Every structure is written in C-alpha cells, then in structure tokens.
C-alpha cells in the first residue's frame, strides 16, 4: 500500500484500486462476449428464417403448425409425394413449373416437404360436391391432392360455408353453422376465453366481444375451426398457402376416427381439399 501525506493528516490508500476496476471491466466484457456467443449459437442452430410453433389447446382439439421462411424460394413441382414425405433433411433443389394459374405458387421447399409429411400421416375424406357445381383442380405443388375452384362463395362466410359442406354437404347452411358455433362456445366458455386476444384484461369480456363480432358476420378464424371441429366431432386439416409459406393445421375433434375433412386456405379464402 502507499502512504499519502495531506496537510493535516495521513491517508493510507490501497495501491490496487485501479487494478480492481480494470479487473471488473474485464469480467463484464467476458460475460458480454459469452452472451453474444450463445445468441449466435442459437441463431446458427435454428436458422435466421426458421420459425417453429406448436399450440395444443385444452379439450379434444389439437392444433399443430409448422411455418418456414427461407431465402431461396423454389417453385412448385415435386414429382412424387411418397418420395418427398419419406425424405430426410435434404430437400430437392431443382423444382420448376410455370406459374400460369393462381394455384401455381412460389412455395418454399422446406415448408412444402413439411406439409407433405403431415398430410402423409392422415387420410382426407372430404365429400366431393356434384361435378356440375364445382371445378376440382389438382395442386401441382401438392401431388396427390386437389382443391375446388370458385366453389365456396366469397361473401365473408367462406369458413362457415366450408364447414356447412363438411357437416351437411350444403354450403348454403352457413348461417346455421355460424349459430351452432356460437352456441357451442357459449356453452363451453372456459375452453375458449383464454385464446381470445384483445385489450381487455378479463378473458370473459374478450370472449363476449368475440361472440358479438361473430353474431354480426365477422370472418371465421382458428378459434372458429376449433369450436366447429369439437361441436361436430370432426377431424379437420387446413392447408394454408401464401406466396412465401405453406403449412398444415390439424384440428382433432374426434379421436375415434382417422379420417379428416380437408380445407384449403389461400388469399383469405377457403375451398375444399381432396386426396386422390
């Protein structure tokens, strides 16, 4: 230690104060570098553009979702769904087709493969509408699957029209389907109120506002699918497609059966989905 003389007294000061400050700074810097390393490792393992979510609500309905965004977007054109569904983490890279129609989209290859794997494990048993009333078109990027085109009317009730076809094989009963969904939610509020988003802190109030909107013609959503799947005891798969992603959602409303009704969502509009 050092002795420092003042005018009227003597101070004894540790000589290593400065070294102690330097040591603390080095420790803080090392901790910060370790934190950066951990973050970089996490990004490297999952991928910058990879998002994976899974949500399983209470009750009998199950919902699973796989959503991917990647840098290199490949066009549709997988030759055999069986080969793709059984493939490992290596994805085909030479996928080409001319996007001449609304169904021929630029879909990320990883999400394409993931969706095919999900669909390969289920059996779609959607009732086909009368041939004279609907056009059924194959999906080139989902080999072995097809969808109706301009069959479900675009009037803001397309989800309820789709379930009206599932339940009654008549999409014009969509008003009845909407009412039955509302009644089911009102009879089972605790199964749904925690899933309703909103600014109100009380889930009961959020659910009340949600039902008010549904009674006044709001579009159906995932909560509607959950409610209708349970109310009708139906298994439903929804394939959602945009220009940069594709994923499949499974809603299990009846564990006693293996068949699924199929819905196809594109551009905020639902159509029927079929399996060859």
* Residue 253 CA neighbour count, 13 Å, CB half: 21
Residue 9: the pLDDT is: 52
* Eight-state DSSP code of residue 176: H
Judge if 212 and 115 occupy the same domain: yes
Judge if 86 and 194 occupy the same domain: yes
Q: Looking at residue 246, which CATH number applies to its domain?
A: 3.90.70.80
In terms of pLDDT, which residue wins out, 48 or 137?
137
Judge if 150 and 187 occupy the same domain: yes
When pLDDT is cut at 50, 70 and 90, the band that residue 92 belongs to is very low
When pLDDT is cut at 50, 70 and 90, the band that residue 17 belongs to is low
Report the alpha-carbon distance of residue 117 to residue 86 in Å, rounded: 7
Judge if 263 and 158 occupy the same domain: yes
pLDDT tens per residue, range 202-261: 999 999 999 999 999 999 999 999 999 999 999 999 999 988 788 999 999 999 998 999
Judge if 72 and 14 occupy the same domain: no
φ and ψ at 56, to 5 degrees?
A: -125, 100
pLDDT at residue 48 tops 80 = no
Judge if 210 and 167 occupy the same domain: yes
Judge if 54 and 176 occupy the same domain: yes
* Residue 201 CA neighbour count, 13 Å, CB half: 0
Contact between 105 and 244 (Cβ < 8 Å): no
- Both ends of the chain: CA-CA distance in Å? 88
pLDDT tens per residue, range 119-131: 999 999 999 887 7
* Domain boundaries, position 70: 50-275
When pLDDT is cut at 50, 70 and 90, the band that residue 53 belongs to is very low
Its pTM stands at: 0.62
Judge if 33 and 61 occupy the same domain: no
Residue 148: the pLDDT is: 96
pLDDT tens per residue, range 160-192: 999 999 999 999 999 999 999 999 999 999 999
Judge if 33 and 67 occupy the same domain: no
Judge if 109 and 169 occupy the same domain: yes
173: Cβ contacts below 8 Å, ≥ 6 apart: 164, 167
Judge if 174 and 189 occupy the same domain: yes
Q: Mean pLDDT over all residues of the chain?
A: 75
User: Which of 46, 64, 81 is the last residue before a domain boundary?
Assistant: 46
Judge if 24 and 62 occupy the same domain: no
- Packing angle of the helix pair 174-187, 203-215 (nearest 10 deg): 160
Number of domains forming the structure of the chain:
2
């Amino acid at each position: 230690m050092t002795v420092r003389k003042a005018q009227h007294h003597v101070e004894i000061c540790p000589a290593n104060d400065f070294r102690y400050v330097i040591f603390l700074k080095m420790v803080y810097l090392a901790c910060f570098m370790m934190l950066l390393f951990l973050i970089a490792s996490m990004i490297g393992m999952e991928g910058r553009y990879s998002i994976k979510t899974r949500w399983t609500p209470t009750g009998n309905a199950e919902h699973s979702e796989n959503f991917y965004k990647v840098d290199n977007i490949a066009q549709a054109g997988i030759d055999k769904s069986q080969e793709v569904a059984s493939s490992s983490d290596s994805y085909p890279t030479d996928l080409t087709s001319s996007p001449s129609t609304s169904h021929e989209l630029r879909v990320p290859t990883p999400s394409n493969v993931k969706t095919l794997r999900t669909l390969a494990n289920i059996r779609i048993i959607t009732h086909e509408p009368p041939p004279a009333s609907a056009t059924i078109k194959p999906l080139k990027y989902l080999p072995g699957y097809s969808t109706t085109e301009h069959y479900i009317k675009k009037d803001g009730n397309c989800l309820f029209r789709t379930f009206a076809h599932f339940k009654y094989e008549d999409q014009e009963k969509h008003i009845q389907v909407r009412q039955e969904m509302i009644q089911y939610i009102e009879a089972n509020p605790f199964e749904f109120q925690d899933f309703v988003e909103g600014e109100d802190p009380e889930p009961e109030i959020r659910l009340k506002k949600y039902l008010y909107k549904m009674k006044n013609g709001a579009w159906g959503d995932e909560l509607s699918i959950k409610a209708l799947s349970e109310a009708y005891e139906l298994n439903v798969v929804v394939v959602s497609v945009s220009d940069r992603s594709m994923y499949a959602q499974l809603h299990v409303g009846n564990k006693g059966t293996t068949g699924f009704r199929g819905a196809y969502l594109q551009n905020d509009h639902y159509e029927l989905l079929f399996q060859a």
